[in-house]
Amino acid sequence: MRVKDSIVVVTGASSGIGRATALAFAGGRAAVVLAARREQALDEVARECEAAGGQALAVPTDVTDPKAVDELARRAVERFGRIDVWVNNAALTLFAPFLDAPLEDFRRVLDVNVMGYVHGARAALPQMKEQGAGAIVNVSSIAGVVPQPYTHAYCMSKAAIRAFSASLRQELMLEGSPSRNIKVVSVLPGTIDTPFFDYTANYTGREAKAMPPVYSPERVARTIVNLVRVPRREVTVGPMARNLAMQAKMTPGLVEKMMALQVDKTHLSRTKPAPATEGNLHEPASGSGSVHGRWNGKRRTAIRRAMSGTALAGVVTVVRRRRR
Amino acid sequence: MPRVRAARFVTDFDSSVNMVRALGRLFEGKDHSGLSMGPGSRRLANLVSSPPRALRRLGFVGMGASQGIPLDRARFIDAEEIARWVTQQYGLGPFDTVVIGSCTGAGLHLAAALGAPFLPQTTLVAVRDFATHPDDAVGAMHALAPTVRLIARNNPEVSVYHMHDPAQDRPMLQAMAYMRLKRLRLGRAYERFLEERLAPGGTIIQLECERTWRTRAVGERAHFQFGALGGVAEEEYHDNGARIAEYLEAEGSPRRKWEPPEPDARRAEAEWGWDPALGEDVERLARRYGYRLQRLVMEEPQDLSALVADFHRWWYRRIGVPSGRLLVESYVQWDPYWVLRLGVVPFWLRFNMQPSYEDLQTYLNHAEPYDDIYLNLFSQGLWSPGVVPLEKWRELIKSKAREHAEIIGVDEKAYPLDTGSTMRYQPAFEALPFRHPIPPPVTVDDIDVFLENSRKDYARVRWV
């Protein structure tokens, strides 16, 4: 599918991956329809998208409300006449020992992360079927493949999204043309440098951090744009996510244990205590949002690449000398 | 949790831990050099305290960081294992007397004289905290509350006190948070110790410090205490004033006053206070095994110091040891081994602050004059409100000693930022003249006799 002049709806567009994705599509001369709870942030993203070269429409939306999501689709069609791409991205998370997680918080994560996607797909599909084409991009996570401790609801939701994508894909395939021209793809990012962890609900008593390695949100956005151009069933973002997905197939028990230890040591701070908070679960975070968090994803990736390049060059040099 | 791990969880500069370590080593014929953890070495101490002031201050922060356990280890804190570690510091016994309860340095010397092990009600575990500001009491309370609740939930036999004192503990608070575990039940380790190692018909001396403090509950058996016994009065922590504003400004704090959370009750003071809940268990066990239970009740932890000093004097005279030398120790820089080897009378100060100064002054005003007075002071890393300058201490002891008065084991240029302080006190004690064999222990009856014959009225102490 051509990105230029396509109509793209992005949920969770006020910050992080959603915002980066909206900007990437706008940069490709697509029209973007931006959805999130924060109106002020959406207006700012809309201005940024227009500055990047695309058209933009901001529609404040809570994805847990099916009527609001239907209205989002209606507004998109009303303004631009069609919906080519629907990016289900809005997500929340909750860090807590299982018994300490308030049930309403647990349910809220599942509601946003799973039912929000269901509402999105139900709003987009009739329009796409009518058009005879379209793409639904469901942003899942590598945590949907290799779960993590203390984020039960999030991991459940991300696994559910993968299953939901596959199930819907199968159904559309069985329906035949024109439904089979509607692509359903899942994106499985690793840890991304977004403000996500700063606003998370947290009952662990320890500050939540981005677990290394951290990748930039632009990398996910590029992947999503490329997936629209050339759809694939499921794509991981970041070498670590790819490796984890592979390892989970070969040595699932070992990967599960390693992930548990890794999360305990590096995803939750060992030195910074944190008060119990429901974060942005029930009320959106204040401010105008941002693409990036405070985890230096781009710089870290650049350093990793430089180090890998140096190591590779070293190996090549050694091998060449030995051959002589 | 093996022994090594339990030792890793307790905090090396904690008063209770140092009572236990000092007594355990005394019973093995060893001294309490370097808080029983490191060497006692004047040279090493000089080396450590030689860097510039700013580096020394950082050194104190670093010490706090090294004592705090990472937050992910908090779930492994096991009060029963710590109790077992305590009992492992002592020999097999049997002991005629066991001391249990509130920590106090005077109680340490009494236990040492009795040859009695001490089982503390309260122990300290520190967790790392690089996030909260020492002057943000509410922020610290909220940030640590989940950890306090976690420890309390995992240890139903203790109350957990998050103690936060930005006055005297400031450098430590920059890198760690104090979690004081106060036992409400004896628990298996203490019960077994009393069952197996206290001789039939033996005595349990229960040290009870009645000091309470304003606290705020943050969960079941989980409390937050702002401030602690030291140079700042309890009211001042809440009401602030010019002295606190000056202190905060001098420390470069963005605040000019403290705004602690509203207290909801007075509870046993986190470090020194006695929670009577444990007394029920002790009484039950004493009754079951026919032990004598003797309560030694004091209003403040330092109240016992005069009585214990006078008791030592009385005891030394009775066994023919000269009793004219006074050794004034502060906080955990104590050494019962050298007190007994040197035959000096111990007087314990809770800290180096004004209330401690006044207590020593009162004691010296009323005590039979001493020939020699030696004074050692703990360094806590800053000039917090109430720290008494060395010159004032020197004047006091000089005015009261008949022959000789000296501040020993203190780097006067570095004090109270003497990073080598804990390595310096024991060599200073050891260097004092005259040695005696360690005398045979006294008995509880000796205390009865002493108190019956004492002409002094220790109004703030009850032996019941």
Do B143 and A275 lie within an 8 Å CB cutoff?
A: yes
Q: Which fold has domain B304-440?
A: Dna Topoisomerase Vi A Subunit; Chain: A, domain 2 (3.40.1360)
Write out chain A's pLDDT in tens, 324 residues: 899 999 999 999 999 999 999 999 999 999 999 999 999 999 999 999 999 999 999 999 999 999 999 999 999 999 999 999 999 999 999 999 999 999 999 999 999 999 999 999 999 999 999 999 999 999 999 999 999 999 999 999 999 999 999 999 999 999 988 888 999 999 999 999 999 999 999 999 999 999 999 999 999 999 999 999 999 999 999 999 999 999 999 999 999 999 999 999 999 999 999 999 999 999 998 888 899 998 776 777 778 778 888 888 888 888 888 887
**What is the interface pTM, i.e. ipTM, of the complex?**
0.88
pLDDT digits (tens, 9 = 90+) for B339-375: 999 999 999 999 999 999 999 999 999 999 999 999 9
Instruction: Determine the pLDDT at residue B107.
Output: 97
For B131, the closest chain A residue by CA position comes to A272
CB-CB neighbors (< 8 A) of A274 in chain B? 131, 143, 146
The answer to whether A241 and A188 have CB atoms below 8 angstroms apart is yes
B165-199 pLDDT, tens digit each: 999 999 999 999 999 999 999 999 999 999 999 99
Residue in B72, B75, B128, B154 to test binding to A, most A beta-carbons within 10 Å: B72
**Domain chopping of chain B, boundaries:** 3-37+54-298, 304-440
Catalytic residue among A150, A154, A199, A215: A154
- Decide if pLDDT at B1 tops 60: no
Q: List chain B residues with CB under 8 Å of A276.
A: 142, 145-146
CB–CB of A271 and B143 under 8 A? no
Of B145, B131, B100, B93, give the one whose Cα is nearest residue B115.
Answer: B93
Closest CB to A203 among B131, B146, B177: B146
Please indicate whether, in this complex, the C-beta atoms of A265 and B150 are within 8 angstroms of each other.
no
* CATH code for residues A7-293: 3.40.50.720
Q: How far apart are CA B463 and CA B278, in angstroms?
A: 18
Contacts of A271 in chain B (CB under 8 A): 70-71, 128-131
Of the partner residues A264, A269, A276, the one whose CB lies closest to the CB of residue B146: A276
* Closest in A203, A268, A274 to B143, CB measured: A274
Residues of A in contact with B132 (CB under 8 A): 273
Distance CA B195, CA B198 (A): 6
CB atoms within 10 A of CB A117: 28
Determine whether the interchain pair B132/A269 forms a contact, defined as Cβ–Cβ distance below 8 Å: no
A→B contacts (Cβ < 8 Å), by residue, are 100, 203-207, 264-265, 268-276
Our answer to whether residue A203 is catalytic in this structure is no
**Strands B404-407, B372-375: parallel, antiparallel or unpaired by DSSP?**
parallel
Task: Sketch the domain layout of chain A as residue ranges.
Answer: 7-293, 295-324
pLDDT surpasses 90 at B292 = yes
Question: What does residue B55 show for φ and ψ, rounded to 5 degrees?
Answer: -70, -40
- The 3-class secondary structure across A205-250, one letter per residue, is CEEECCCCCEECHHHHHHHHHHHHHCCCCEEEECHHHHHHHHHHHH
Taking the C-alpha atoms of residue B94 and residue B200, their distance in angstroms, rounded to an integer, is: 9
- Rounded CA separation A260/A150 (Å): 9
